Amino acid sequence: MKLITSKDGTSIASWQSGAGIPLLLVHGTTGDHLVWTSMLPSLEQYCNVWTLDRRGRGLSGDTDKYAFEQECEDIAVVIDAMGANAYLAGHSFGGLCALEAALLVPNINGLILYEPSISLAASGWSKELEASLKNHLEAECLEEALLLFFNEIVKMPPREIAAMQTGPHWAGRVAAAHTILRELQSVDCYTFEPQRFCSLQIPVLLLVGENSPSRRHLTAAMLQQHLPDSRIKILPGQQHSAMRTAPDLFIHEIVEFMRVINDVGLR
């Protein structure tokens, strides 16, 4: 584990394993670096894999006053520490952070965005839901807040929620529940401005679950329209959590994307 100091002085915990092309994986809301654990043995055959705990969870630090821009700067400083020709992959809110971080550093070779959280439209987000989440958090009912998030915002199938609850990382997600509201509020305030990304000339892979809500597909289509070198790949039979429900498929798409760009004879 390495502690990397972000622009505002916050320590960001990161982990490195494997050898080959550097790849940073950025988790989504309520997650931490352990989200990627089951995928690492396979990815390490191809990549020098980096993971991190986003600020406010795990072994990373935090600040009293939160700003979305800090999250993007955190990723940028880790990418800088990785060296040249790195790849960056982000999931959900981590995908939004990764998209913005790509504008901050010149040494990204390719960007992989799995259903980045661009808009809360049609997600069930409302002032009432925001108030309910806030009430749960203020009452320190963290698990209730977490379940509300997965049921009403992510709209995760009950069987997937049940599998997560019995898994080894549920306690970590509960502990990170205090970050849910600030991330949802950041998404709610975020406006994608196409003109800011005209100069982003790196290849971008947009991953979408076949069975994900239509708003996820519309977001991918919008990004493909405005990101100069981007393509959409549909993950058959999947929704928002393919790294858990179909890790081999998820890994395959990442490795193939890198193989085409690098053409370095990956095994």
Average pLDDT value for residue range 221-232? 96
pLDDT of res. 84: 79
98-111: average pLDDT: 96
Which region among 155-159, 233-237, 250-254 has the lowest average model confidence (pLDDT)? Answer: 155-159
- How many Cβ atoms sit within 10 Å of the Cβ of residue 109? 17
Which tens digits make up the pLDDT trace of 46-59? 999 999 999 999 99
Q: Given pLDDT bands bounded at 50, 70 and 90, which one contains residue 39?
A: very high
On whether the CB atoms of residues 115 and 219 are closer than 8 A, the answer is: yes
pLDDT score of 265 more than 90: no
DSSP string, 74-99: HHHHHHHHH-SSEEEEEETHHHHHHH
Residue range 193-217, pLDDT digits in tens: 999 999 899 999 999 999 999 999 9
Instruction: Specify whether domain 2-118+191-262 bears CATH 3.40.50.1820.
Output: yes
Provide the pLDDT confidence category of residue 153 given band limits of 50, 70 and 90.
Answer: very high
**22's tokens:** 């550097």
pLDDT of 123: 86
- Mean of per-residue pLDDT scores for the chain: 94
Looking at the chain, the whole-number percentage of residues with pLDDT higher than 70 is 99
**Is the model's pLDDT at 168 over the cut of 50?**
yes
Q: Which residues pair with 88 in a beta bridge?
A: 24, 111
CA-based radius of gyration for the chain: 17
Residue 226 confidence (pLDDT) above 90: yes
- Give pLDDT, residue 122: 83
Residue 264 scores a pLDDT above 70? no
Angle value at C-alpha 77, between 74 and 83, nearest 5 degrees: 145
Sheet containing strand 204-209, strands side by side = 2-5, 11-17, 47-52, 21-26, 86-91, 108-114, 204-209, 230-235
Instruction: Answer yes or no: is pLDDT of 75 > 80.
Output: yes
Alpha carbons 167 and 186: distance in angstroms, whole number: 28
The phi and psi torsions of 15 (rounded to 5 degrees) equal -130, 150
Cα–Cα distance measured from residue 241 to residue 264, given in angstroms and rounded to the nearest whole number: 29
Contact between 145 and 136 under an 8 Å Cβ cutoff? The reply is yes
Residue 118 contacts by C-beta under 8 Å, 6 or more apart in sequence? 96, 187, 190, 192, 219, 222, 223
Strands 11-17 and 47-52: antiparallel
The residues spanned by each domain of the chain are 2-118+191-262
On the question of pLDDT at 239 being above 60, the answer is: yes
Q: Is the pLDDT of residue 266 over 80?
A: no
Give, in order, the Cα–Cα distances in Å from 133 to each of 108, 170, 185.
36, 18, 11
Among 121-125, 136-140, 240-244, the least confident range: 121-125
pLDDT (0 to 100) of residue 1: 95
